[in-house]
C-alpha cells in the first residue's frame, strides 16, 4: 500500500465552474476525512466518513460542497459554482478504528494518514 492518494494534485478553474476531487485512502481504512487548508492556517475539518456513512459535516461547509464515499473505499469531494474564496489545498486523510468509537465515548487509537492534497485555484 502506497498511502493515501489524491487526484488531481492541482486544479485551476474559472469561477462558477464545478470541480470534483478524488481521494483513495489506505486500503482497509474505514475512516476518511476531508480538510481544507489555506495559506497560513491549519487544516480545517470539512467532513468525516465511517465506511460509506457520512457521520459528520462542518457547519461551515456551504451547500455548494458535497462529498460521497459510495462503497466505503474511495471518496469524492465536489464543489459546485466555485468562488475565488474556495481556492485552497484540499486534504484527505484516512485511519482505522472501531466503528462507533467516536460517539460512544470509547477512544480508538485513531491515527490519521494524510494524502498530498489537491491544490485548487479559482480564477
Partner 1 sequence: AQSVSQHNHHVILSEAASLELGCNYSYGGTVNLFWYVQYPGQHLQLLLKYFSGDPLVKGIKGFEAEFIKSKFSFNLRKPSVQWSDTAEYFCAVKLSGTYKYIFGTGTRLKVLA
Q: Taking CB under 8 A as the rule, which mask of x and - marks residues 63-82 in contact with partner 1?
A: --------------------
| SS3 state at 85 | helix
Per-residue DSSP letters for 91-115?
EEEEE---TTTTTTS-------EE-
Considering only the stretches 8-16, 61-69, 70-78, 97-105, report the one whose residues sit in contact with partner 1 under the rule CB under 8 A. 97-105
User: Given the C-alpha cell 498530498, which residue does it identify?
Assistant: 116
Are 33 and 54 in contact by the 8 Å Cβ rule? The answer is no
Considering only the stretches 18-26, 65-73, 75-83, 115-123, report the one whose residues sit in contact with partner 1 under the rule CB under 8 A. 115-123
Q: Shortest approach of partner 1 to residue 98 CB, angstroms?
A: 13
45 binds partner 1 (CB under 8 A): yes
Cell numbers describing residue 39: 495559506
43 binds partner 1 (CB under 8 A): yes
109 binds partner 1 (CB under 8 A): yes
SS3 content of the chain, % helix, strand, coil (to 5): 0, 45, 50
> In the complex with partner 1, which residue's Cβ is closer, 41 or 121?
41
Amino acid at each position: 500500500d502506497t498511502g493515501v492518494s489524491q487526484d488531481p494534485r492541482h486544479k485551476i478553474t474559472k469561477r462558477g465552474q464545478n470541480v470534483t476531487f478524488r481521494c483513495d485512502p489506505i486500503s482497509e481504512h474505514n475512516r476518511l476525512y476531508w480538510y481544507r487548508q489555506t495559506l497560513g492556517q491549519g487544516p480545517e475539518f470539512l467532513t468525516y466518513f465511517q465506511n460509506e456513512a457520512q457521520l459528520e459535516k462542518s457547519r461551515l461547509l456551504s451547500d455548494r460542497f458535497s462529498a460521497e464515499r459510495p462503497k466505503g473505499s474511495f471518496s469524492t469531494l465536489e464543489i459546485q459554482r466555485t468562488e475565488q474564496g474556495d481556492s485552497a489545498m484540499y486534504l484527505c486523510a484516512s485511519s482505522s478504528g472501531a466503528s462507533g468509537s467516536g460517539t460512544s465515548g470509547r477512544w480508538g487509537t485513531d491515527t490519521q494518514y494524510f494524502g498530498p492534497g489537491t491544490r485548487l485555484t479559482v480564477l
